Amino acid sequence: MNDNISGWNDWSSAFADWTDISISELHGLMTGIMTVCHAPDMAGWQTLFSELSLSEPDESALTLLTEEAEDTSFQLKDKDDAYAYTPLVPDDEHDLYERVLALKNWSSGFLTGFGVTSTALNNDENEMLADLSRIASIRIEPDDEFEGGEEAYLQLYEFARMVPVSLSVRQRKHVKELPLIAGLPLHAKTAIEVAQEREQMREQEHVNKPIPPVVDAMNKNLPS
C-alpha cells in the first residue's frame, strides 16, 4: 500500500506543524482508544489531548484525526472489515529504518491509548500486549542494520496489525467514561498499580509455550 492510499502523505501534511509525537504514534494512540471506545467528536479529542498533556493540533489536523478515528472505530467493530486494518507506517519505498521506527512508535502509541481505557484483559491479551511492548522497545539507529531485514519487519508489522483486531471484540464505551476524563473513585487503583498487578499475575501464571514465529523474530531483533 503506497503512501497516498495508506494516508501517510495526508497525515504528514496535516500534522507538519505539530511535533508533540510522531504521526505513527498518534495513529497508534487513536487506534488503542478506538479499540474500546466509540469515536468522539472534535471536542472529545480536544479533551483527550488536554488530559494527555498534548498540545492541540490545528483544525484541519484535528478534523482528519476525528474522521480517521470514526472510520477506525467502525472498521474494528466489524469482524470482517477489522482484518483489513493497517497501522500508519510509510510504504516500502522508504528505508527500512524509517518503517521500523514508525512501527515502534505506532506500538508505543497503541499501548498508551489502550492503557487509558483501563480495560480488563485475560492472560492471552496480557501476553499480546507484552509482546507489543517489545516492539515499542526496539532500539535502532539510522545506520543500524535491522537483523532479519524485510522478512523480520513484515512479521513484526503483521503481529502489531492484528493486536487491535484481536482486542476489539468487547463492548464499546464513550470516552467521557474513561477514568482519564471522568476521574477515579477515591479508592480506585492507579493505572501503574493495575499494570504492576497484571505483570505479577503474568509472571506467576506463565508456562513454557512453543515460541510463535513472530515472537521468534522479536527475539532476534529486540534487546533482552
pLDDT one-digit tens code per residue, 61-96: 999 999 999 999 999 999 889 999 999 999 988 999
Q: Tell which residue, 109, 113, 111, 103, has the closest CA to residue 40.
A: 113
The answer to whether the CB of 184 falls within 8 A of the CB of 190 is yes
Q: Which of 97, 94, 90 is nearest to 143 (CA)?
A: 97
**pLDDT exceeds 50 at position 224:** no
Looking up cell 471536542 gives 43
Which domains, ranges and CATH numbers included, belong to the chain?
3-221 (1.20.120.740)
* Single-letter amino acid code for the residue at 184: L
- How does residue 189 score in pLDDT terms, banded at 50, 70 and 90? low
pTM score, whole prediction: 0.81
pLDDT at position 211: 39
Give the pLDDT confidence of 107-153 residue by residue, as tens digits.
999 999 999 999 999 999 999 999 999 999 988 887 777 777 889 89
Q: Which amino acid is at 14?
A: A
Q: Do 94 and 170 meet the contact criterion of CB atoms below 8 Å apart?
A: no
* pLDDT band for position 55 (cuts 50, 70, 90): very high
The pLDDT value given to residue 143: 72
SS3 47: helix
